[in-house]
């Protein structure tokens, strides 16, 4: 059995951001416009799936609420939320932004959508991460989210917040107001 794989997507075109993360062994990777990781159970059913999409947007400290809106829109694309999705501010080890979540009736009932950007004052986009899992806690997604770092337009890893030992799934520690 091999160890985790490091995946790095450099910024290109209109997308002035990229990302880097570590994928645990036993998790398959599907390359494409949307990067997807999937872990299967012994019986072949999907245990969890995580997808990442980089989007272009002019963000100046996100004054217009683009990240919260993207997280809500991403969740609305996955499932209906009574009263509409609500996003909460979050800080991950390599980025900050907003998270929206819901449970639904489906083989992968737990859905979390993160819209993240580096802490720079002016950013040309963000990263949309969608997690769908069989259970509220999925260790592979926890590992991937802990190792996720945003790559800035210069190809360098954006400075992230200090990591603490709080679990990311199923609850992300909200940022203080």
Q: Is residue 169 part of a domain?
A: no
Tens digits of per-residue pLDDT, 20-58?
A: 999 999 999 999 889 999 999 999 999 999 999 998 876
Domain count, the chain: 1
Q: Is residue 174 part of a domain?
A: no
Q: What is the helix (H) or strand (E) element at residue 124, kind and residue range?
A: strand 122-133
Please report, for the domain that includes residue 36, its CATH number.
Answer: 3.40.1000
Please state the pTM of the whole predicted model. 0.86
Contact 120, 59 (CB under 8 A): no
Q: Is residue 94 part of a domain?
A: yes
Question: Domain range spanning residue 97?
Answer: 5-151
More confidently predicted of 96 and 124? 96
Q: Is residue 110 part of a domain?
A: yes
Cα separation, 104 vs 136, in Å, equals: 12
Tens digits of per-residue pLDDT, 79-121?
A: 988 888 999 998 887 788 899 999 999 999 999 999 998 866 5
Which residues contact residue 171 at a Cβ distance below 8 angstroms, ignoring those fewer than 6 apart?
none
Q: Is residue 119 part of a domain?
A: yes
Distances (CA, A) of 145 to 2, 61, 71, 92, 132: 20, 22, 16, 7, 13
Reported as a pLDDT band with limits 50, 70 and 90, residue 173 is: very low
Nearest to residue 143, comparing CAs of 1, 2, 4? 4
């Amino acid at each position: 059995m091999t160890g985790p794989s490091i995946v790095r997507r450099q910024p290109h075109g209109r997308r002035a951001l990229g990302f880097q993360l570590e994928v645990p062994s036993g998790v398959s990777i599907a390359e494409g416009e949307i990067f997807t990781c999937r872990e299967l159970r012994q019986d072949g059913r999907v245990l969890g799936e995580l997808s990442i999409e980089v989007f272009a947007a002019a963000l100046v400290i996100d004054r217009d609420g683009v990240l919260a809106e993207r997280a809500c829109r991403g969740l609305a694309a996955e499932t209906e939320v009574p009263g509409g999705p609500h996003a909460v501010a979050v800080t991950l080890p390599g980025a900050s932004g907003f998270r929206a979540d819901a449970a639904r009736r489906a083989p992968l009932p737990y859905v979390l959508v993160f819209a993240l950007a580096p802490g720079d004052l002016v950013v040309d986009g963000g990263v949309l991460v969608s997690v769908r899992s069989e259970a509220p806690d999925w260790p592979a997604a926890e590992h991937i989210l802990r190792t996720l770092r945003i790559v800035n337009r210069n190809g360098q890893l954006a400075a992230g917040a200090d990591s603490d030992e709080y679990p990311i799934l199923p609850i992300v520690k909200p940022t203080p107001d």
